[in-house]
Each structure stands twice: as structure tokens, then as C-alpha cells.
Amino acid sequence: MNNFQKLGLSPSIIEVLDQLGFENPTPVQEKAIPMLLGEDPTDFIGLAQTGTGKTAAFGLPLIDLIDQNSKATQALIMAPTRELGQQTGQQLSNFAQNNKSVNIEVVYGGAAITNQIRALKKPTQIVVATPGRLLDLIKRKAIKLDNVKYVVLDEADEMLNMGFKEDIDEILSHTLENRVTWLFSATMPPEIRRIVKKYMEAPLEVSINAQEKSNKDISHKYVVTKTSNKISALRRFMDIQPDMRGIMFCRTKRETQQIADDLGNLGYGVEALHGDLSQGQRDSVMKRFKTRAMQLLIATDVAARGIDVNDLTHVIHHTLPDQLESYTHRSGRTARAGKKGISLVFINPREDRKIKALEKRINISFEQIEVPALEDLRSSRINNWANLIINTKVDEQSEAILNELHEQFAHLNKEDILKRLITTQLDHLMIQKGESSNLNASEEGSSESKTRSKTGFHRYFINIGAIDGMTKPDVLHFLSDISNVDRKFFGEISLQKNCTFFDLDDKQDQGFSQKFNGIEVKGRELRVNRDDEGNKRSKPSYSRDKVRGKRRQPRSDVNRSRAGRR
């Protein structure tokens, strides 16, 4: 027996659930569905986050409650983003596949409104919409809300975070007094309470304890590493777990794109998703992500809202969000529908207290883990390579090729051949020279610099960065021009917002920093120092205010100011 049957759903819905493989209701479905199907329509609050099955919790009753003989719009579902709206629309269409006369339309901003106006001319009993576009459609009289009996506010806290407060107020003012409102939210900030008070009457409330549900399935972990090492550390996690598939959250669009570009250039299957991409670009990124054409989606919080992709093994936080509540939303992208998942946070040594604050605030506990050491990485790569060879299905063409090569290999035994094969793979199996073994930051902290000096490099800091309009090649040219040190002596360059870290061959160490003394960039004194010369590096000498609005041109500007000093 399908366990949804006892919740009061119609046989046609149960049949669909059987086809979809939904056998057991999730906790929010078990509690909400009987309430929403009750004799008297009721206002309802569901405290549940994505991944708990909330779409079916309101979607299944909705399809049963719709009057299929009426062509009027009877249900309105508001969602914060286009992605969430589309996913909700898709799920509802699946649920309604046995009820052909139920029509569902999804409308959202960033796409041609004319097509949506045309689509809404057909009978549409359920409309899923983002608030801004819905308001637009109401104003153009393309949608009539006077028969709407059910309003669903999905991810209500996210809609408020995104500034849809006034839009929601206005939309609700266009609906009937006697409609019911079902509100779903992961958190209950005061603004949501205000909506509840203003628009709902004696709502029934179901709270799916986030800790109970998701934290059981999500393991929360963190690593402590210097900001400049975060990407190297991430690469090690990706290398050591080739099956990893997930989303990494960054804070800014620029950082998101930069990290995706850097990792992409190194051959990793990653792509960026942020608000500067056109809707078409975002759609194709999401399509590739869903079809598993990439390993990691690098995204901003806003762009990744509502993404519903199952089977993500990891959610990675390149930087913790400003609002700790967003952590719940981010990490809820993994461990969906009963699966396990890992939420991995990268923090720098100064952010320790943020982890403690998170633990207290959302009642979870974190485990500190280490960045994989080079040695582990090396043995993992060697193992993977060996397994690849052992498990490769032999192609029939290989026989003929082997015959051709037989003579050439005749003087080599198995060991000789393997050694030669390994040599051809050295770049892949070994670790690049100059890479530090230990990327974990501790109070002693300077393990990296020590290792670098052993391998012939020192790490340096300069107080120019992306905010000055610099790219990595710009920084390299600039450093080389000013210091008269050939570019070949520079190693890895890590461009940050306000500053840049770079490696310099230690034979060029002598007097290197001093070559930058007295040079100014538009009134700001340049500072270059070794990263292991204490904490000077972490505090660029200029204030943000001074450079705001005066994005510096790379190189040409700097050279000019130097020339002026000569």
C-alpha cells in the first residue's frame, strides 16, 4: 500500500505518486496534506526548507482541491526566483499528469512578457509566478485574480530578503478576502510574522524542525586555511573525491566568475552562475549542471536560490554568508530527499568565532577537518589511475594495434613498459612544483612559507588587487617592469580584491620589496612585503574610501606615476 493513501488524497493522485516512486510521505507532507485537504479551507504556515518535500506538501492537495470544471485561475503560487518557479511548475505538472484539464503556467521576469500574456489567455487554473513579473501582468490586466482561492507563498523569507515585500503586499491586495494563504518559509523573521498577522486568520502551523530533518543528513565540516590558499585547498578536495558534485557559494559576482575562470583554466569541470549572466546563459549553465556535465557550480547566493538538483554530495562555502540564516538555505541544497550530504566551510584563521556563532544559532555541530596533504593526493591519483587501467574495457581495435607494435615493444618487459607509462603520466600523477604540502592554517601559521622557501619560492604580498582593475597578467607585468625581475622568476599569483599574493624565486629575494619603495599609484603608496614578515600583509595601507569610484587603470597608470617621480 502506498502510504500517501491515508492522507486523504484522490486515487488519481495516488496513481501518479506510484508512477513517480513516491511511497512514503516526508514529515512535512504527512502533517500538512490532511490539514490542507480538510473540510474547511484553512490558512497554513509550513516551517520547512527546500529538500523536505514541501512542494508536494502543498502541490498535491492543491491539484485535488482545484475545480477542474472551472477555467478560472484558482491558485497562485509565488516563488522568489525563476528557477524555483520553474521547478515548482515542473513538479506540479508531474503531479497533475492524470488530471489533463488542470493547466499550470509559470511566469517570471527576465523573459518576454508577450509570450506569457499569450499563454495566460488559455484557461490556467494554477499560476506559479515571481512577484515582480506577476505585478506587471496584473497591471497589464493579463491575469485576473478574482477567482483565486489559494495563495501559496513559497520560500517567503527568501522573497522578503530579495526585496519583494511591497510587491507581495500589493499582489495580496488584488486577491479575494476569503482566499486562504499557505505560507512556507525556512525561517520566521519578524517580517514574516507581520505578513501572517496581516493576511492570515488562525493559521494551522507545521514546523519541520530543520535540525531534526536536515542536520541528520548533512554533515557540517570546516577547514581553516588562509584566504589566499582557499582555491588550492578546494582543488585538493576535488582531486581526492572525483565523485564530488555540488555547489560552491561565493559572496560577489566578480569573485564567482574569477574562481570559475581560474578553475576552468586548470581543467576542472566548473561553471559560474550569477546575476550578470543573461537569462539564456543561466539556463544553459543550469542545464549542464543538471545533466552532470560539470562537477561544481560556482554561484552567488541570489543566483542559486531555489535550485532543486538532487544528488549533490557537497555544498561548499568559499566564504560564509553575511547573514548566518543564509547558511541554512545554502546547506539545504545537499542531503535532499533522504540522501546524505556534506556542507563544507572554508574559513581563515580569524573566522573561528563565526563557526561557533553558527553552531549556537542554528543548533548544529561542526567537525574540523584537514585539507588533504599532497601525499594523500598523490596516492589517491595513483590509485585512481591504476584502477582506471585495470577496469578499462579492452577495445577490439587494440588487438590489431598491438600486433603492429609488437616488434617495437619486444625488448621491454612488463615492468619497463609500466615505468614508461607512468613517466608519460607524471604531470597528472605528481603535484606541481612549488605547491605547499600543508594548506591548513594554524596559530604557528607559517608552514606554507617554510615549504615554499624549501622549494625555491617565497610568497609575497602587494597592496594592489582586483579593485584596481588589475588582472593576473597585469600584476605580473607590473611586478616585472618595476623590479626589473624577469617574469619567469614569478610563480603562482593569487589576485584578491584589495591585494595580491605572488610567489617569487628566492634567488630574486634580495632587495625585492625595496624596489617598490616610494612608488605611488594615484596618491597611494605601494607596499610589497614577504608574506612571512608578520601581519603587515593583511592590512592594505589604503582605505577603501580613498579608491572608491576611481578604479585604477592597470600598468599604464602606475608606470606614469613612476615616471613622474623620476
In the complex, what is the shortest distance from the CB of residue 21 to ligand AMP, in angstroms, rounded to a whole number? 6
Q: Which is nearer to ligand AMP, 26 or 125 (CB)?
A: 26
Q: Which is nearer to ligand AMP, 51 or 372 (CB)?
A: 51
The C-alpha cell of 497 is what? Answer: 580584491
Q: Which is nearer to ligand AMP, 55 or 161 (CB)?
A: 55
Binding to ligand AMP (CB under 6 A): which residues in 241-270? Answer: none
The closest alpha carbon to 56, from 31, 39, 38, belongs to 31
Sheet hosting strand 490-495, strand order edge to edge: 490-495, 500-505, 457-462, 528-530
In the complex, what is the shortest distance from the CB of residue 286 to ligand AMP, in angstroms, rounded to a whole number? 15
Run of H or E residues at 546? helix 544-547
- With beta carbons less than 8 A apart as the criterion, state whether 227 and 441 touch: no
Give the CA dihedral 404, 409, 415, 417, nearest 10 degrees. Answer: -70
DSSP 297: E
- State the amino acid at position 288 in one-letter form: R
DSSP 536: G
Q: Which is nearer to ligand AMP, 308 or 509 (CB)?
A: 308
- State the amino acid at position 55 in one-letter form: T
Site string for ligand AMP, 155-184 (x = CB under 6 A): ------------------------------
Binding to ligand AMP (CB under 6 A): which residues in 444-483? Answer: none
Q: Which is nearer to ligand AMP, 245 or 524 (CB)?
A: 245
| 509 lines the binding site for ligand AMP (CB under 6 A) | no
Point out which residues pair with 528 in neighbouring strands: 462
The closest alpha carbon to 316, from 302, 336, 298, 339, belongs to 298
Q: What backbone torsions phi and psi does residue 478 show, to the nearest 5 degrees?
A: -60, -50
Determine the Cα–Cα distance for residues 257 and 16; give it in Å rounded to an integer.
Answer: 41
Among 33, 56, 208, 250, binds ligand AMP (CB under 6 A): 56
In the complex, what is the shortest distance from the CB of residue 154 to ligand AMP, in angstroms, rounded to a whole number? 9
In the complex, what is the shortest distance from the CB of residue 234 to ligand AMP, in angstroms, rounded to a whole number? 27
Q: Which is nearer to ligand AMP, 104 or 466 (CB)?
A: 104
Among 7, 47, 52, 105, binds ligand AMP (CB under 6 A): 52
Among 46, 55, 89, 199, binds ligand AMP (CB under 6 A): 55
Helix (H, G, I), strand (E, B) or coil at 49: coil
Q: Which is nearer to ligand AMP, 286 or 547 (CB)?
A: 286
| 54 lines the binding site for ligand AMP (CB under 6 A) | yes
| 217 lines the binding site for ligand AMP (CB under 6 A) | no
Q: Is 188 exposed, middle or buried (0-12, 13-18, 19+ CB in 10 A)?
A: middle
In the complex, what is the shortest distance from the CB of residue 58 to ligand AMP, in angstroms, rounded to a whole number? 9
Among 337, 386, 389, 417, binds ligand AMP (CB under 6 A): 337
Could you give the C-alpha distances from 490 to 98, 160, 319, in angstroms and in order? 65, 48, 28
Q: What backbone torsions phi and psi does residue 520 show, to the nearest 5 degrees?
A: -120, 150
How many residues bind to ligand AMP according to rule CB under 6 A? Answer: 16
Could you write out the three-class secondary structure of 430-446? Answer: CCCCCCCCCCCCCCCCC
Determine the Cα–Cα distance for residues 159 and 168; give it in Å rounded to an integer.
Answer: 9
In the complex, what is the shortest distance from the CB of residue 50 to ligand AMP, in angstroms, rounded to a whole number? 5
| Contacts (Cβ under 8 Å, ≥6 apart) of 424 | none
Binding to ligand AMP (CB under 6 A): which residues in 79-118? Answer: none
Site string for ligand AMP, 12-51 (x = CB under 6 A): ----------x-xxx--x--------------------xx
The closest alpha carbon to 246, from 313, 321, 299, 305, belongs to 313
| 185 lines the binding site for ligand AMP (CB under 6 A) | no
Q: Which is nearer to ligand AMP, 56 or 104 (CB)?
A: 56
In the complex, what is the shortest distance from the CB of residue 355 to ligand AMP, in angstroms, rounded to a whole number? 27
Among 217, 283, 308, 325, binds ligand AMP (CB under 6 A): 308
| 310 lines the binding site for ligand AMP (CB under 6 A) | yes
Binding to ligand AMP (CB under 6 A): which residues in 317-336? Answer: 336
In the complex, what is the shortest distance from the CB of residue 208 to ligand AMP, in angstroms, rounded to a whole number? 10
| Contacts (Cβ under 8 Å, ≥6 apart) of 551 | 467, 468, 469
**If you write DSSP's letter for every residue of 257-278 in order, what string do you get?**
HHHHHHHHHTT--EEEE-TTS-
In the complex, what is the shortest distance from the CB of residue 421 to ligand AMP, in angstroms, rounded to a whole number? 44
Q: Which is nearer to ligand AMP, 248 or 335 (CB)?
A: 335
Other beta carbons within 10 Å of 349: 14
Q: Which is nearer to ligand AMP, 29 or 232 (CB)?
A: 29
Contact residues toward ligand AMP (CB under 6 A) are 22, 24-26, 29, 50-56, 308, 310, 336-337
